[in-house]
Amino acid sequence: SLILMLSISFIIYEFFSVKTVSESKLNYTNRLTSTTLSREDYRLLVSFIHAETQQSTYNEKLAVVNVILNRLYNDTFSNNLYDIIYNYDKFASTSNGTLNKHLWEYDCGTFNTKHHINTLKAVNDALEGKNNIDNRLYYNNYYSYANYAYNNMSIINNFIFW
């Protein structure tokens, strides 16, 4: 089935051509530098990534973290994590209360399910330079954008990156 195929495959769209790569063969690169955050920014990033990805796979979480880090290093966006999360693109989790819920969980020490641990690993790996989406700056739910074609578009399970 198509849904099963999408859930186990990583599809790369390059200049409107499609290439399917098994998630186990996903290419990882390293940023030239690691990223250091204040405790408050780390708390915000971890909570935001979990709010946006919740029960997603490690690779989906890693990719979403890298979108945010790519924005930090891109002149088009603010170099302030708070501004990126709260001011650009109006992420659903910042307006529907999901982010606040996960900030509270983090503060209460209940950030300890397997999905929380996966989020922490993805954030820590990305901060150390691990990147699976190169320089992409945007993401969304795949099903919301399935009919659009962007240059250099990637799909990791349920997320689309461009």
79-97 pLDDT, tens digit per residue, is 999 999 998 657 889 999 9
**Exposed (0-12), middle (13-18) or buried (19+): which is 88, by Cβ within 10 Å?**
middle
Q: What is the mean pLDDT of residues 60-64?
A: 97
pTM exceeds 0.75 for this model? yes
**Exposed (0-12), middle (13-18) or buried (19+): which is 3, by Cβ within 10 Å?**
exposed
Q: Is the pLDDT of residue 16 over 90?
A: no
Inter-CA distances, 12 with 9, 23, 25, 114, 134, Å: 10, 11, 12, 28, 12
